[in-house]
Amino acid sequence: MFRPAAAEELARAGAPHRWRLVGRILMSPWRRKVHLAEKLPAAGGVIVVANHLTYLDGPLVYRISPRPMHLLVRHDIFKGIVGWALKSSGQIPIDRASNDRNALGTALRVLRRGDVLGIFPEGTRGEGSASSVRSGAAWLALQAEVPIVPVAVLGTRRGGEPSRFLPPPGRKIDIVFGDPVYLEKPAGQSGRAARLAASKQLQAILANHVRQSLQLTGQTLPSVAQADMVASSTPNGDANF
């Protein structure tokens, strides 16, 4: 675990920009096709929310973002050389098993100073359909009053491949950006009820964007046929991210 001051240092403005060349080199084995990246607002705070299939998704989204990005990353990965790289590139550790107020506060500061925050709201690697999400991304969007931009990452894992799998060199990977959307805070609701309602909106937006991106790219998800994807599901409101 990091002391509170350490998390603030990790999200220094400008830190992600200095590591983008390294990201380009690390992502070079795969054929990446980025669609509609111009939909990411050119300025101002924004939250990029992406589906999650494998370990490669985080570095990939970081690399292809038109703007430097701070990602919320599981705190126990901040060890050794990987931890050093994450610190140096401005990423934010989060303890997903608790209400990590330090991580939330750092993420809010990133958004309020006009930078990009990246989150995988499914909370862990899975089938990538966004059939459920955790509530932290929606809470941040409401608190900072910034838009979310859904991003579909497709091709990093296929049927029969485990979530710890890295795709073979040369595989085509599609990353599709969606339209920026402001989540609505229902009138007369506050606290947990408002957060759950916003999480439901976010889940529907991301799941629909993944479905549309599958049709656009011809990709498939590892364990769910495109026609069988669930349109919506009640989000887990008790977890943060």
Q: How far apart are CA 11 and CA 147, in angstroms?
A: 20
Is 159 within a domain? yes
Task: Write the pLDDT tens digit of every residue in 45-90.
Answer: 999 999 999 888 998 999 899 999 999 988 888 889 888 888 888 8
Is 238 within a domain? no
Domain interval for residue 169? 4-228
Task: Write the pLDDT tens digit of every residue in 14-31.
Answer: 555 555 555 566 677 888
pLDDT for residue 175: 97
Is 66 within a domain? yes
Model-level pTM greater than 0.75?
Answer: yes
What is the mean pLDDT of the segment spanning 146-167?
88
Task: Write the pLDDT tens digit of every residue in 181-208.
Answer: 999 887 777 778 888 999 999 999 999 9
Q: How far apart are CA 87 and CA 110, in angstroms?
A: 15
pLDDT for residue 152: 97
Number of domains forming the structure of the chain: 1
CATH number at residue 89: 3.40.1130.10
